[in-house]
Amino acid sequence: MTMLESPQQSSSSNTASSRIHRYAGRTPRLHVLMVASEVAPWAKTGGLADVLAGLPQALARLGHRATIVLPRYRGIEGSANDSSSVGYVELGTVRHEVRWTVRDAEAPVRTVFVECPALFDRAGFYGTGGQDFSDNADRFGILSAAALDFAERERSGRANVVHAHDWQAGLVPTLLRRQPARWPRLSRSGSVMTIHNLAYQGQFNKDIVPRLGLDWDVFKMETGEFYNNFSFLKAGIAYSDHVTTVSPRYAEETLTPEFGVGFDGLLKSLGDRYSGILNGIDTAVWNPETDPYLPAHFSAEDLAGKRSCKRELLNLFNLPQGDDAIARPVIAMVSRLVGQKGLDWIADAADELMSLDATWVILGTGERRYEDMWQTLRERHPSRVGVYFGFDERRAHLAEAGADLFLMPSKFEPCGLNQMYSLRYGTVPVVHAVGGLDDTIRTWRPNSRHANGLKFENGSGAAVAATLRQALRLYHNPPQWAGLMAEGMSDDHSWDRAAREYVKVYKRARRDARDR
């Protein structure tokens, strides 16, 4: 399509998409519009992208439909099954020409890319060189409005639930509640806001309020105002019918000043409209029996292939691969290298940790000081420490499959996915007992039953070292270690479980929206 149309006039070039979709022998019970800044495999910096890949597919398996809207960032390629439309999106004084590209229009899960080169054709998703883009409020404000415009004008089945993810989509419920006349077909849809990490709040100078076409009523302490700034996330929370976060324990923690990051009062005020739903994992992608990144496959019944994965992991990180190295336990970390992940505790105990009879493999990128720390440790212990700065999917899968222990000493962790990947691959997690880590790991104790890992309560370098020493003692007790591995590999952390809980929230949000 080359002509420019208004969002209300624009329509898909694929006329078949105007039909109400049927699949699994019935009309979809719910149609959920999801808006997010990341969706795997197209855009990923962390677990948010994996959630947006797994949850919609699980909803489809339950008989529902999902439409996912994200920016078309640089590098996202087109597909033969794409259809598109063009129009203008306006938000206050901000106006941009946008192309909506729909992928898999006939599928129960379809993806809509919001193409606006002036906003999204950049080297980074949120910024470069450690600095956020100065116009992020405009960028993600337009994303929110564009998602609503698309859903309002399409005729292939009204979205009856709108699900916004993290601060980048915080204007979605805000705009729906504050400007219902602009999107009348969506004005009675239930709205759900999911907090993936409360520490990222989307704060901007208050001058952004009129620029985005919002009235000053949104800039109040109980809505979007936060220490004289405007917070996308706070506004999204305040104007949603229901708010979720990504684990029950993290939901409880965020009601306290320690973890609430200034939002604990607002979250408490929601009462039972705030809940925690533990994330799932994609068990088709993360499956040691079929994983294409592995040199050999294995299962709980036959672990022989795990040894081959360990050898290849050591090879990828340029570490010794002889029999002695294979016998030695490997401790892996796949993580953003930021303070949240407990790296200060590792720095505090570095000498003691490096004295352990273990090999370390580290995959991640982040703050320079933590990269320098691991680089220094690699230089001091070249046969025991392997580091890869960046993200590499093959290395990530091999770290889960080839390591013996997976370390997650996070100071806070809303959910965490790597500990669930580790359990599935028979790699024993060692974690700090916070958030989703506490919900998923059952710590080993003498005579304990059903333990699947180890966790420590009081965060410190000493606690990390002490727990790893305990884990290494268990590693050298084959019957106990085999029990830990088997228990973890039998756990069910599939998205199907989580999706059923989301459906309950969606139905309540719809009722609350109709009752407003």
Query: 7 pLDDT exceeds 80?
Result: no
Q: Is residue 353 part of a domain?
A: yes
Same domain, 366 and 450: yes
Do residues 81 and 139 share a domain?
A: yes
**Same structural domain, 350 and 274:** no
Whether residue 53 has pLDDT greater than 60: yes
Predicted confidence at residue 233, as pLDDT, reads 98
Q: Is there a single domain that holds both residue 270 and residue 331?
A: no
pLDDT of residue 14 exceeding 60, the answer is no
> Is residue 445 in some structural domain?
yes
Same domain, 65 and 166: yes
Q: Are residues 71 and 20 in the same domain?
A: yes
Are both 325 and 370 inside the same structural domain? yes
Nearest to 422 by CA among 347, 492, 326, 489: 489
In this prediction, residues 23-34 reach a mean pLDDT of 70
| Better-scored residue on pLDDT, 49 or 156 | 49
Of 38, 10, 167, residue with least CA distance to 101: 10
Could you give the CA distance from residue 515 to residue 188 in angstroms, rounded to a whole number? 9
Predicted pLDDT at 22: 37
Q: At what angle do helices 171-178 and 136-153 cross, to 10 degrees?
A: 60
171 in the same domain as 197: yes
Q: Do 435 and 410 fall into the same domain?
A: yes
Q: What residues pair up with 163 in beta bridges, in sequence order? A: 34, 192
**Cis amide prior to 41 (ω within 30 degrees):** yes
pLDDT at position 374 over 70: yes
Cα gap 379→149, rounded to integer Å? 54
Number of domains the chain is built from: 2
**pLDDT value, residue 410:** 97
Residues 162 and 214 in one domain: yes
pLDDT of amino acid 28:
58
Domain that holds residue 23: 15-280+496-515
Domain assignment of residue 325, yes or no: yes
Mean pLDDT value of segment 470-491: 97
d(CA 456, CA 475): 17
Same domain, yes or no, for 121 and 212? yes
pLDDT at residue 298 is higher than 80: yes
| pTM score of the predicted model | 0.88
